[in-house]
Amino acid sequence: MGFVTSPKNPVVAIDGPAGSGKSTVARKVAEALGLPALDTGAMYRALTWAVLDEGIDPADAAAVTALAERLELDVGPPVLVGGRDVNDAIRTADVSAAVSVVAAVPEARVILVRAQREWIAVHSGGVVEGRDIGTVVAPDALLKIYLVASEEERARRRQEQDGATEASGDLDATKAAIRRRDAIDSGRAASPLAAAEDAVVLDTTGVSVEGVVEEVLRRYRAALEAAQRT
């Protein structure tokens, strides 16, 4: 799959662990730049929702891959699977608990990464957030941001974000769930969660969303100017 990223069709890659602020920052950066945004985590969640809906074992790599191949996914928003609105359903505790296992299936990742690259080509770039955007999906992105935050802060944000749909456990339980998911996401063989060598690592602990967005926009303008000079 060949695709080009240049100042004409720039990709801003935003990666990081759960609760690092990716989704909010990506949405606001996209709005500010007038670029479309793709939440790749929602794609892994939609596949996981379908896996559970069909009663497939998330660890059954062959069955998960076969389902990924025939999945009719519209990344929205709202996210649709086979025309059905699953935008809220993909945020439930059941999906959150199983998604890392599904996302560790290498053959399923190949299928989703291909769809993500197609999205980038069709939209001529955009703000793409996930775990492997800077390393695998768009290694030639104009700007790669890797967001981090303390475990405490990430757990708090996750609770706020998922409050409406996730069973509201205590902070320690959320922390444990995040730690478990991080361990699987970082430890898996296929495209583990990691910062690209050329990524800008931003620690968002104690920084407002506006502050992080402003920093990303500043880096974006600098990257664009540098690219235009060459």
**Which parts of this chain interact with ligand DC (CB under 6 A)?**
18, 40-41, 44-45, 99-100, 103, 130-132, 181, 185
C-alpha–C-alpha distance, residues 112 and 25, integer Å:
22
**In whole angstroms, how close is the CB of 208 to ligand DC at the nearest point?**
21
**In whole angstroms, how close is the CB of 83 to ligand DC at the nearest point?**
22
C-alpha–C-alpha distance, residues 23 and 77, integer Å:
13
Instruction: Indicate the helix (H) or strand (E) that contains 124.
Output: none
Q: Which is it for the CA torsion 5, 7, 9, 11, positive or negative?
A: positive
**In whole angstroms, how close is the CB of 51 to ligand DC at the nearest point?**
13
Alpha helices (H) along the chain: 22-33, 40-53, 61-70, 93-103, 106-123, 151-162, 171-187, 209-229
The residue (of 35 and 100) whose beta carbon lies closer to ligand DC is 100
The residue (of 67 and 99) whose beta carbon lies closer to ligand DC is 99
The residue (of 97 and 224) whose beta carbon lies closer to ligand DC is 97
The residue (of 100 and 174) whose beta carbon lies closer to ligand DC is 100
C-alpha–C-alpha distance, residues 152 and 54, integer Å:
35
C-alpha–C-alpha distance, residues 210 and 224, integer Å:
21
